[in-house]
């Protein structure tokens, strides 16, 4: 006799998402251990870790009602993934970004601010992927990103990310809260965010510089 875990399509989607969350946490734990043991390169680690963090943030948002506390979810299923919890919940950025920032930041520009910028970039791009395109949804996210970028003294005044976020905030301020970005505008904003993020990562001092 077949036993169903769900009663309808909505419950099935929730269980699928819970399974994905479990898999992401496990995969992150394995990735962290592989990086510590020097099994994969720093560039490979950073690429995969960014992907897992982005997937985790998206799923966490989707499951915020079913899983309000990820640590409790972790403990309930006896996952034993402390490194994954640290990376996904506490840090929110790859270890390589933390190390690069910590080694290069001056007293005026801390690694915490770099981590905040990275998190805000990812949040902004994920929001668009989730079709959160209303002005009252987009404006706060871009405002947080712009604020965090302005905290970093290593970034020039005319840094691409600063100017583009300022332009978008100015454009949004002229729209109503319930107005939504068109598909073309949302696509352009995602392109600008992606481009600015790449420029931001390239602007971070590397070890030895």
pLDDT tens digits along 122-151? 999 999 988 999 999 999 999 999 999 988
The reply to whether 171 falls in a domain is yes
Q: What is the pLDDT of residue 107?
A: 45
What pLDDT does residue 6 have?
Answer: 58
Looking at residue 155, which CATH number applies to its domain?
1.20.120.1130
**What residues pair up with 134 in beta bridges, in sequence order?**
180
Is residue 34's pLDDT more than 90?
Answer: yes
Tokens of 129: 């992927």
Confidence of residue 208 (pLDDT cuts 50, 70, 90): very low
Dihedral class, residue 6 (left if φ above 0, else alpha if ψ from -120 to 50, else beta):
beta
Residue pLDDT, tens place only, 79-117: 999 999 999 999 999 998 887 766 655 544 567 788 889
Q: Are residues 70 and 138 in the same domain?
A: no
Say how many C-beta atoms besides its own lie within 10 A of residue 60's C-beta: 18
**Tokens linked to 2:** 């077949």
For residue 57, pLDDT beyond 50: yes
Per-residue pLDDT of 143-173, as tens digits, reads: 999 999 988 877 888 898 999 999 999 999 8
pLDDT band at 5 (very low <50, low <70, confident <90, very high): low
Instruction: Please report whether residue 30 resides in a domain.
Output: yes
Last residue of a domain, one of 59, 93, 127: 93
The dihedral sign for the CA sequence 138, 181, 60, 58: negative
Average pLDDT, the chain: 87
Number of structural domains the chain divides into: 2
Q: Is residue 99 part of a domain?
A: no
CATH number at residue 62: 1.20.1440.200
How many percent of the chain have pLDDT more than 90? 60
Q: What angle do CA 31, 35, 38 make, to 5 degrees?
A: 140
User: Is 100 part of a structural domain of the chain?
Assistant: no
């Amino acid at each position: 006799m077949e036993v169903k875990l769900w009663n309808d399509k909505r419950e099935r989607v929730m269980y699928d998402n819970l399974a994905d969350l479990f898999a992401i946490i496990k995969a992150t734990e394995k990735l962290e251990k592989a990086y510590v043991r020097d099994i994969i390169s720093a560039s490979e680690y950073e690429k995969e870790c960014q992907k897992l963090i982005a997937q985790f943030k998206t799923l966490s948002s989707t499951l915020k009602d079913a899983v309000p506390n990820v640590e409790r979810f972790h403990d309930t299923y006896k996952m034993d993934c402390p490194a994954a919890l640290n990376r996904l919940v506490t840090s929110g950025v790859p270890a390589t970004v933390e190390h690069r920032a910590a080694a290069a930041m001056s007293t005026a520009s801390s690694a915490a601010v770099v981590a905040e910028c990275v998190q805000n970039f990812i949040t902004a791009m994920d929001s668009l992927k989730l079709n959160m395109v209303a002005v009252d949804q987009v404006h706060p996210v871009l405002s947080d990103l712009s604020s965090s970028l302005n905290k970093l003294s290593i970034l020039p005044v005319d840094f691409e990310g600063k100017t583009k976020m300022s332009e978008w905030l100015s454009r949004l301020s002229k729209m109503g809260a319930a107005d939504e970005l068109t598909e073309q505008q949302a696509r352009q904003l995602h392109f600008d965010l992606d481009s600015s993020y790449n420029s931001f990562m390239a602007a971070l001092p590397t070890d030895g510089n």
